[in-house]
Structure 1
Amino acid sequence: MSKRFPGRRLSPVRLTVLVAVVGALVASTFVGWNRFEDVRAAANGGSWFAGYVDATATPFYPFEQPASAQGKSVVLSFIVADPKEKCRPSWGAAYTMDEAQSQLDLDRRIARLLQGGGEVAVSFGGLINDELARTCTDVRQLTRAYRSVVERYDLTTIDLDIEGEDLADSEAGARRAEAIAALQEERRAGGKTLNVWLTVPVAPSGLTVQGTDAVTAMLEGGVDLAGVNVMTMDYGGSREAGVSQLVASIAAARATHSQLGILYDRAGISLGPQTLWRKIGLTPMIGQNDVPAEVFDLDAAAAFNTFALESGVGRMSMWSLNRDATCSDNYGDVSIVSDSCSGIEQDGMLFADILGAGFEGRAATLNSAPTTAEPTPEPVVDDPETSPYPIWAEESTYVVDDRVVWRGKVYSAKYWTSGDVPDNPVLQAAETPWTLIGPVLPGERPLPVVTAPAGTYPGWDAEKVYEKGDRILFDGHVFEAKWWNRSDSPEAALQTADSSPWRKFSNEEVQEVLEELKP
């Protein structure tokens, strides 16, 4: 039996306020809970450092004897297709796995590193040779090839370094995804996990079109990606003059974070922002890059490490541990990239120590994140009374440099556009005709419109025929005929409709007219 509340009855107004307050509290609690779940999922993902080791480069790098405390985890590279047998894995197209053991003691050296508490992942692909999926066109044989590597080295983590012609081959990408997804399913059925990282090139503006296609192929193929590792190096012409390697690399990371959110959303997977950072790996090329003008020095490494830790990225790597040393005096030209030294003076310091500091997790940690329900925020309602520029309208036409306000932000048109929503999420900047300038600032008001007094030009007459170049006044605005017309109201031009035969003068043009008419 319940008791009645002894106080007064709530009036309808008070009841409405109470419902609104409770609703707001529930909504804020829901948002807060989802953020908590996002952070918790990200924390469970682990965050790790591992330098790449070119396993076949001479002189052979002794990865089993780490020079750095951060060098205990390595990504051995590269497993590629054997030139003599298209579905057989090989190390660098030079050694079969058996030959790598007999001639390089590779299996034994891996075992030594593991006994010392280290960890090994293996990378497939690279720039120079063919990744297995490129030449092995039978998916069952391809799956068998991947499985043979995973089982031989008892791997929990693999890296798919897809670049160059491999990245451009969409059919190979589909085969790769199908084979890797099947292998993951096999491992799960056997109570084991296989973390899969996709490594692709990146520009300061983010993943290339081919890079986003590669991620999409993996997700559509059913691969449970631990993350996407971007090669923050060798930007070439995509890096603007005067922009440092550090600044370009941070920009690349942030753009990739935005793109991944879109790609996962399109795949029907909703991930919070912190979980998305856990799904990003960063791999700079230490010292001298392949592009002569690009050098990633020790200071850049320290700042990049700080950025990565503060952002919460899931992985930090580097190319490569082989190169983590100052070149000897007899190395003639340090601007030419060496396989065994960085090309810069390191003063006894190691890039691995700097880049790896603070990354305490392990690659074996399953980085896959559960799907989280994200509340849809209420869109900002733009107020014409406070918007400094016209509010974007679907039916209007805009030309280069036209500015509009949409959902609390100011955008500028890059070229002619009509019907393109300014905040439409896109993977590449070239896909949208709008450039985001920034938010509408507190206290802003519409820019004053310069009008012309009556008599400056004749008023518009619906019965009159107008020729190209004729000028009229309409609602205080000056218009000029773009072609012969009759009975076409300038009203449409006020809405920037491109089909209108009238062109509205800008504030500057009206001001010029008024100056010319002064006595």
Structure 2
Amino acid sequence: MSTTVRLSRWRVTLAVLIVLATAVAGVLGARMYEARATQEPAPHWFAGYVDVTATPSYAFEEGSADAEGHVPDVVLSFIVADEDGSCTPSWGTYYGLDEAGAQLDLDRRIQRLREQGAGVVVSFGGAINQELATVCDSAEELAEAYLQVIERYDLDTIDLDIEGPALEDAKSNALRAEAVALLQQQLGAEGRPLAVWLTLPVIPSGLTVDGREVVSAMLESGADLAGVNLMTMNYGQARESRSMFDASAAAMRSTHRQLGIIYEQAGIPLRSSVLWGKLGATPMIGQNDVVDEVFTVDDAQRFNEFAVENGIGRMSMWSLNRDATCGSNYPDTSRVSDACSGVDQGDVRFSEVLSQSYIGHAAQAASATTEPDAAAAAAPQDDDPETSPYPIWDEEASYLEGTKIVWHRNVYEAKWWTRGDLPDNPVLEAWDTPWELIGPVLPGETPMPVFTVEKGTYPTWKGSTSYEKGDRVLSEGTPYEAKWWTEGDSPDAAQGNPDSSPWVPLTAEDVAEDLD
């Protein structure tokens, strides 16, 4: 079937879809995710990015099998508007789709990789050139441009890398979201699922406001996102003194929390494990664009372990072109190279380290769909003092930095002094809440044991006695010290309201000093 005939049918189909979408928008909004039910978790997969137009050319078609013979997928990048800035897909403005087939042998190389059991994902956008949504005039035209690439390379998974000016362009974000929803409706009706990943910049505190709006726009359009892939790189001042691994782990945790709130606001509550599966990670191996940021092989090993432990659905890296030690003719390794990592890797490849335990393929996950989770939407569980390791949060109590409490069967720690701030308040910015989620209350947990000493170590507290700052007493065997003058204030209240209480519990070290 010729290209002209195919696109003509596509235009007709889009026109019909627009009319239908207008008529049944309310029904689709309520039932879209009910019709997309999946019972099994999507397989977790690794696919390194390949810069198709970089020189020297990277031979992705040769594959790189692990010890078990598994050849991972690749993400080919980047499809952007052509050099004239029209709504025509090109590889980095250098090659049209036909030109890439003729001059780069791209179609043949893709087929060769597939014959080895691996798959191909194509990424649209990137940091430079014009992202298609910023130049197309309508969602229909943009969807048609996407479709040309999808059909040319027989894709079931695409990656939308939104950064730079495109990230801040509200008009193009809305256009992109509408186009993706139309594409998924059209291809889904033909029995051809299309998995769509958003790749977005991130900092240790999570997605930026612009990034969150890109995700929200997709959900509002009715598009079903396969996930959000985070560019865990180039943090700048936001990294502070953290290692690249620690900054990346913080970014993943923060975005996991944000994504849960965004989906819940869209009426699609999801469990924590499902949300982890909807996250991807793409570190920039070796030397990052920020001079003092270097992602080492050790960082990669730790990041892989973190990803596997938490069930992160996708692992990538930028880029396979760079996965080698620089040669002696490249002395300035602090300057980023397209062909080497800038660190001494020895015989180790970042792709081998980051892909450990990621033995799935994108195609296996392409048919996975999103549905509201009844368990996630259930009312929060009540807390039981007998099974809570820390005091249950009290709206009237004041909490010092470092204080741990239990709320709705989760443990939280205060980041600074707080009173009346709900621990599970759904705020999107981490700095808007004084509480940090530590994790769930575990089965079989009981209240943390209180430190006690023998009777007579200190005088027994009496409600009728006045105490000066520094006085020490015993209450139910627990030693306390007065923070200021007090009379009639029970020391036991310090356990539930440490800030307001005039008493502070003593530690074993404190008591040892007295006994010495």
Give the AA of the match of 1:231: M
Question: Cα distance 1:410–1:270, how it changes in 2: closer, same or farther (>3 A)?
Answer: closer
Question: Cα distance 1:40–1:180, how it changes in 2: closer, same or farther (>3 A)?
Answer: closer
Q: Secondary structure at the match of 2:79?
A: strand
TM-score (norm 1): 0.72
Partner of residue 118, structure 2? 118
**Equivalent in 367, 380, 383 of residue 383 of structure 2:** 380
Q: CA deviation at 1:221?
A: 1.3
- The question of whether the paired residues in 2 share the 8 Å contact of 1:417 and 1:433 is answered with no
Give the AA of the match of 2:128: I
Q: CA deviation at 1:398?
A: 7.0
Higher CA-based Rg: 1
Question: Cα distance 1:416–1:249, how it changes in 2: closer, same or farther (>3 A)?
Answer: closer
- The question of whether the paired residues in 2 share the 8 Å contact of 1:286 and 1:296 is answered with yes
Deviations 1:317-367 (A, max 9, x none): 111010011111101201111000011122122111221122121111223
- Counting only pairs closer than 5 Å after superposition, residues 89-488 of structure 1 correspond to structure 2 as 89-241=89-241, 243-365=242-364, 366=366, 367-374=368-375, 375-380=378-383, 392-393=394-395, 407=407, 412=414, 414=416, 420-434=421-435, 442-443=448-449
- The question of whether the paired residues in 2 share the 8 Å contact of 1:414 and 1:435 is answered with no
1:60 partnered with 2:57: yes
Question: Cα distance 1:380–1:61, how it changes in 2: closer, same or farther (>3 A)?
Answer: same
Partner of residue 17, structure 1? none
User: Structure 1 regions of 5+ residues with no counterpart?
Assistant: 1-37, 457-472, 478-495, 497-503, 509-519
**2:423 and 2:400 mapped to 1: Cα distance?**
14
Question: Cα distance 1:506–1:119, how it changes in 2: closer, same or farther (>3 A)?
Answer: same
- The question of whether the paired residues in 2 share the 8 Å contact of 1:399 and 1:413 is answered with no
Deviations 1:146-180 (A, max 9, x none): 11111111111100111122112222111111001
Q: Secondary structure at the match of 2:202?
A: strand
Deviations 1:78-108 (A, max 9, x none): 1112241431111112222222223222222
Deviations 1:281-300 (A, max 9, x none): 11111111111112122222
User: Structure 2 regions of 5+ residues with no counterpart?
Assistant: 1-36, 452-459, 469-484, 490-496, 505-516
Q: CA deviation at 1:210?
A: 2.1
Give the AA of the match of 2:251: A
- The question of whether the paired residues in 1 share the 8 Å contact of 2:399 and 2:414 is answered with no
Give the AA of the match of 1:380: D
- The question of whether the paired residues in 1 share the 8 Å contact of 2:267 and 2:372 is answered with no
Partner of residue 7, structure 2? none
- The question of whether the paired residues in 1 share the 8 Å contact of 2:405 and 2:413 is answered with yes
**2:187 and 2:412 mapped to 1: Cα distance?**
50
**2:293 and 2:94 mapped to 1: Cα distance?**
30
**1:322 and 1:450 mapped to 2: Cα distance?**
74
- The question of whether the paired residues in 2 share the 8 Å contact of 1:413 and 1:433 is answered with yes
- The question of whether the paired residues in 2 share the 8 Å contact of 1:51 and 1:71 is answered with no
- The question of whether the paired residues in 2 share the 8 Å contact of 1:390 and 1:404 is answered with no
Q: CA deviation at 1:65?
A: 1.6
Deviations 1:121-148 (A, max 9, x none): 1001111122111222311111111111
- The question of whether the paired residues in 1 share the 8 Å contact of 2:285 and 2:296 is answered with yes
Q: Secondary structure at the match of 1:229?
A: strand
- The question of whether the paired residues in 2 share the 8 Å contact of 1:41 and 1:369 is answered with no
Residues matched between the structures, number = 423
- The question of whether the paired residues in 1 share the 8 Å contact of 2:38 and 2:369 is answered with no
Q: Secondary structure at the match of 2:40?
A: helix
Question: Cα distance 1:129–1:405, how it changes in 2: closer, same or farther (>3 A)?
Answer: same
Q: CA deviation at 1:475?
A: 8.7
Q: CA deviation at 1:451?
A: 9.2
**2:179 and 2:211 mapped to 1: Cα distance?**
19
Q: Secondary structure at the match of 1:302?
A: helix
Q: Secondary structure at the match of 2:292?
A: coil
Q: Secondary structure at the match of 2:374?
A: coil
Question: Cα distance 1:378–1:336, how it changes in 2: closer, same or farther (>3 A)?
Answer: same
Question: Cα distance 1:474–1:89, how it changes in 2: closer, same or farther (>3 A)?
Answer: same
- The question of whether the paired residues in 1 share the 8 Å contact of 2:400 and 2:416 is answered with yes
Question: Cα distance 1:450–1:115, how it changes in 2: closer, same or farther (>3 A)?
Answer: farther
Q: Secondary structure at the match of 2:335?
A: coil
Q: CA deviation at 1:416?
A: 8.0
**1:344 and 1:332 mapped to 2: Cα distance?**
11
**1:358 and 1:443 mapped to 2: Cα distance?**
39
**2:392 and 2:313 mapped to 1: Cα distance?**
42
**2:117 and 2:141 mapped to 1: Cα distance?**
34
Q: CA deviation at 1:369?
A: 3.9
**2:237 and 2:71 mapped to 1: Cα distance?**
32
Give the AA of the match of 1:315: R
**1:113 and 1:142 mapped to 2: Cα distance?**
28
**1:436 and 1:190 mapped to 2: Cα distance?**
43
**2:165 and 2:462 mapped to 1: Cα distance?**
57
TM-score (norm 2): 0.72
Give the AA of the match of 2:282: T
**2:87 and 2:144 mapped to 1: Cα distance?**
9
**2:406 and 2:303 mapped to 1: Cα distance?**
34
Question: Cα distance 1:415–1:165, how it changes in 2: closer, same or farther (>3 A)?
Answer: farther
- The question of whether the paired residues in 1 share the 8 Å contact of 2:390 and 2:406 is answered with no
Q: CA deviation at 1:274?
A: 2.2
